[in-house]
Structure 1
């Protein structure tokens, strides 16, 4: 296939290190979708794919910068949390210029109402194929009764259906989501399961890093954003049940729930056992995982969770909730332990099981490492590249018949 030019649209992307503190914390500078989009783009750049990447602009981030050897990163909107989705307003009149010369549009759908309309407009203007990756399905992954969740499910779900119906190819992270979309009428031949991958930084040997210093054992880890969705409040309540012997918790992440979680830890009497490190660069995460401690992902909803793949590769025992596509990755009792969401008693029991039986924890961790052995971006990128080739060849055949 000749060199391809991709217009990539994503509401979040890996942020500069300077955005991991201060005002940038409220901008979700770190997360699974952020890392997925960045690591995929880096891997495609190594293949020589030209990319124009359009995303939001967190504080301290430049509006434009070169990306790798062949790409351009364009950050639009206001560098304030309240203006985050204003990137779509800024992008809309620029789409014709941004799409100029592109061979296809690849959009990444998470909890974002703007990306599907942007992608359809860009692909229509340039008359090129449209590929949609569904990271977190507004209609099928998001749960809860908050106003935000209801808007995402109803309005976001409608936009998602429009996008999956019109996309030339749909990429999903789990077989569960493939089955859901195919069951909803998306042709099976257009849906491709390509999970998130392991970044090169995780392939190098890593022992315990300095972020573990001062955190007593036994301990468990949480790595991720501090949002209602992530269920860290449930983890704190589980920690309160793990008092004999006491278990400590290392939290690597930040977000809008941080203050409330600190207050909850104080009320539960576990504040001295909770160690908050804030957001850190991805390069520091292998050292967090390097101690082999259990990693807990207590999400209320989640389609996959990139940190699960990273922790499984690093050899950490896993406790996660039975939501979304996580059971596709974590087989209960084989590659980790699964519990119902929102159940601190069940979560505490699963954590205690791993800590009390190191042999079983080690066996599950070894099984988990084998489970994700092939999920490296340098391998997965070829599957994405093959999807690009497929939709471009199909479009060429259609144009030849016209």
Structure 2
């Protein structure tokens, strides 16, 4: 069967290592970046031609071809605010490349532009639209503050409108799929396909990237943003039984570093900054516990990566995390630094329990390999293009 030519629209995409030279302040590591990059590679390996239209972090080329049959077109100004100005160039690019497309696939997060752009491109191409909801501004986004409440109100309406005019909707978790169906999306148009991992990235012996940091150590990987619970984590750090390594960058880094200095724990918290995604496996293999203190998280790729690495995980009991982690980790209330510190210390002090949780996590991670997930995305594309799905291709939502 001939593979489709897909236009992938996403406000963020896996950045090249070149962003390191520019401070990596534009959310260089995050679930959607990893998801879109890994999915694009996995589909390219299956012969799917893809044009990716996305935002441009500082230091990233405007155009590159990371895989055979894949072209990435990045747009946007070098601003730390109003990053959605990428949509001006992205609209021109999507319009120009729409003719000849077979399908448009939009990835939705906290962005107001991507869905109108995707709908426009699909209409111009006469092609079906598939939407992957990474964060639902209508159903699951937790709004704190005036800006976030306005984003939720406007973005929720845009999301509802787009979901009524698309061929298929992919939710990362059964929880989200249920809410989409309850919100009026026909059940036969909803699929559950989570983010995934590449097992090879977590295999083999590698050198410790942080030999200067004592063991046992706790690890945080992600954007330094309020959504990720970085404030809670810093408050918990003083009570941890071992040092904390913070890998990532973002708008809350300066505040987090200031809080560490104010607490007098600068010798116990190590800010490693942004590291390219291919380095995360090695970092995790030399950690003793992964901490995920997110305020909300639809799924959390870092959770899946920690599971693949066989790490015990202490995470917020929020969003899709409990469904992915199950009994292979310690769940605590989001925003509770005392509970997080207690959970981490429990794992650091009881190595038998840590090994048990790590083994359970690694076993659960087997369901999240990108090879299998890419095949499921291809089945969604077939359904959107009018090929008759089999019963096995329809995902039941419990």
Give the SS at the match of 1:280: coil
CA distance in 1, matches of 2:260, 2:349: 24
1:3 aligned to 2:6?
A: no
Compute the displacement of 1:83 (Å).
5.2
Query: Structure 2-normalised TM-score?
Result: 0.94
Compute the displacement of 1:240 (Å).
1.6
Q: Hey, what does 1:391 align to over in structure 2?
A: 384
Give the SS at the match of 1:140: coil
Compute the displacement of 1:21 (Å).
4.1
Paired residues of 1:223 and 1:252 also in contact (CA < 8 A): yes
1:288 aligned to 2:288?
A: no
CA distance in 2, matches of 1:108, 1:368: 27
1:372 to 345, 354, 365: 365
1:126 aligned to 2:122?
A: no
1:321 to 316, 324, 337: 316
Q: Hey, what does 1:400 align to over in structure 2?
A: none
Q: Hey, what does 1:349 align to over in structure 2?
A: 342
Give the SS at the match of 1:287: helix
CA distance in 2, matches of 1:365, 1:167: 40
Q: Hey, what does 2:220 align to over in structure 1?
A: 222
1:253-272 equivalent positions in 2, closer than 5 A: 253-272=248-267
Q: Deviations over 1:93-132 (max 9, x none)?
A: 3433211110010000011110010011111111110000
CA distance in 1, matches of 2:113, 2:167: 19
Give the SS at the match of 1:38: helix
Q: Deviations over 1:198-222 (max 9, x none)?
A: 1255253244x43221111221000
Q: Hey, what does 1:276 align to over in structure 2?
A: 271
Q: How many residues align?
A: 388
Compute the displacement of 1:394 (Å).
5.5
Q: Hey, what does 1:150 align to over in structure 2?
A: 149
Query: Structure 1-normalised TM-score?
Result: 0.93
Q: Hey, what does 1:237 align to over in structure 2?
A: 235
Compute the displacement of 1:292 (Å).
4.5
Uncovered stretches (5+) of structure 2, i.e. residues with no partner: 389-398
Compute the displacement of 1:236 (Å).
1.4
CA distance in 1, matches of 2:59, 2:350: 46
1:38 aligned to 2:37?
A: yes
CA distance in 2, matches of 1:31, 1:259: 19
Compute the displacement of 1:350 (Å).
0.8
More helix by share: 1
Uncovered stretches (5+) of structure 1, i.e. residues with no partner: 396-402
Give the SS at the match of 1:210: coil
Paired residues of 1:292 and 1:314 also in contact (CA < 8 A): no
CA distance in 2, matches of 1:206, 1:254: 27
CA distance in 1, matches of 2:202, 2:125: 39
Give the SS at the match of 2:245: strand
CA distance in 1, matches of 2:11, 2:343: 35
Compute the displacement of 1:81 (Å).
2.7
Paired residues of 1:253 and 1:279 also in contact (CA < 8 A): yes
CA distance in 2, matches of 1:210, 1:366: 21
